[in-house]
Each structure stands twice: as C-alpha cells, then as structure tokens.
Amino acid sequence: TSLLLMAGIMVAVGLCRRLTRHRLRAHPRLCTFLLEMFSTFQICACTNELCLLGNVEPKPHTALTLTYGFTVLHGLTLTGSTCNPCGTLQPMWGGGISVKMGGLKITAQFVAAVLARVFMHFIWSLEMAEPHFAALSQGCSSPMQTTETQAFCIELLFSVVFQLSVLRVEGVNPKYKVHLIALLITMLVYAGGNLTGAIFNPALAFSLHANCFYDKFFSYSLVYWIAPSLGKFLILYVF
C-alpha cells in the first residue's frame, strides 16, 4: 500500500508538472514557482512515507533499498528542479539566477514542505496501511539521537560532502549521474541516519519534523537549517 501510494504521488506530480509547463509558458515566474513546489512536494511526501517503513524487516536493508530506488526515481522524474534551499543558493551566489527568483524557489520549497506534511497526515488518518496506525500519535519523533554539537557537525559534514559531490559530477552523463547521487545519499543515510536522520535539506527537515521545530526551534533550526546552509557556503567559498 505504501509503495502504491508513493507511486501515485509521483504520477500525480508528473501530470501537474507537465500541465504547468504547457499552460503557463507565458508566466515564467508562476511556472517556476509551481514546478519547484510540485517537485519538492513529491520528495517530501514520499520521504514522509519512507520514514514509516524504516522498521520493516530486514533492517536496514529494506529501508536503504527503498531510499536508493526512490532517489533514482526522483532524479529521473524531477529534472530541472532543485528541491533543496541549499541547492538554490549556488546559482544565486554565482549570479545564475536573481535573488528574487531564488527567493521565489525557496518559498515554493517550504510551501511544498508544509503541503506535503498536511497531505500525508490526511492520508495517515485514513489508516490504509499498518504503518499509518500510530503515525499521527508520534508527535515529535526526534531524529536527533546524539548531542546538539555532534548533530550540527554531522549535518554540516554531510551537506559539504553531498554538495561537493553534486558539483563534481556535473559533467557526468545524466543516466549515470542520477545513480551516483542516489548511491551517495544512501551511503550518507546508512552512515548517519541513526544519529541525525541524514537529511541535509532544510525544507525536507521541516516537512519531516515540524513538531520538533515547534518544540525546540533553536536546536532544530541550528542543526537542520543553519548547518546545511553553512556547508553550502563553505563549498561556494572554496570553489
């Protein structure tokens, strides 16, 4: 049921993206906003569902396999979208897009994060699958299983590794590039998923753990917003 749900989300987002491109060509800003919003919605909604499957046996093989598989699918179906505020900072810094357009994309990403969380909570309330039964009663299911300082350093390191790798594989054939990125993300999730969740995406972190941001805003904004953004600025400064 969970796999069918995620497949349905991807098909629906694909249709919305195609409709947006065809109908809103004359409105580039609105088109950009909606494309980024739909793409980020897909990643956030699917990842919310994937988190519920983390305890499916055999652990952690099932969760890692699904992470790799769906990351590949996201990469193949969401071409042209960043879906990560940290990734949007690079073209803004380099002058590839204006600050206004970059702000528009980041706004779309956070709007999508909220919409994905609301949508998944509605789906979970229907209790279509066993993992959904207790999903709404978890509250702040904190992914931070270490000290705040260590969590900050881990998310900072993972952000640097991920963003640097993305820059280094820019010239690789897209068919192979998506698998390399998916493999890297899977390795990072395996290495740090039990400590911080290995998210390194501020919008995705907010979608997955909004309750935790409400309860401990400073700690979670430091680890899941500031650390990945700082990692991105370090990469931009080095390059």
Tell the burial category of 9 from Cβ atoms under 10 Å away from its Cβ (0-12, 13-18, 19+).
buried
Residue 214 has pLDDT above 90, yes or no: no
pLDDT for 107-126, tens place per residue?
999 999 999 999 999 998 88
Please state, for a pLDDT cut of 90, what percent of the chain lies above it. Answer: 62
Neighbours of 169 (CB within 10 A): 16
Q: Is 45 exposed, middle or buried (0-12, 13-18, 19+ CB in 10 A)?
A: buried
Q: Which two tokens stand for residue 143?
A: 């992914």
Instruction: Give the other-Cβ count within 10 Å of 199's Cβ.
Output: 26
Q: Which residues 6+ apart lie within 8 Å of 90 measured at CB?
A: 96, 163, 232, 236
pLDDT value at residue 139: 65
Please answer whether residues 162 and 227 qualify as being in contact, where contact means their C-beta atoms are separated by less than 8 angstroms.
no
What percentage of the chain carries pLDDT values higher than 70? Answer: 98
pTM above 0.75, yes or no: yes
Residues 6+ away with beta carbon under 8 Å from 212: 140, 141, 142, 143, 144, 220
What CATH number should be reported for the domain holding residue 64? 1.20.1080.10
> How far is residue 148's CA from residue 143's CA, in Å, rounded to a whole number?
11
Domain that holds residue 11: 1-238
Q: What is the pLDDT of residue 138?
A: 67
**In the chain, how many domains are there?**
1
Whole-Å CA distances, 113 to 56, 189, 237: 25, 20, 28
Concatenated DSSP letters for 55-116?
Answer: TSSSTTHHHHHHHHHHHHHHHHH-TT---SHHHHHHHHHHTSS-HHHHHHHHHHHHHHHHHH
d(CA 200, CA 211): 18
Which candidate, 161, 151, 221, places its Cα nearest to that of 192? 151
Average pLDDT for 140-151: 86
Distance between CA atoms of 27 and 160, rounded to whole angstroms?
Answer: 35
Of 179 and 61, the structure prediction assigns the larger pLDDT to: 179
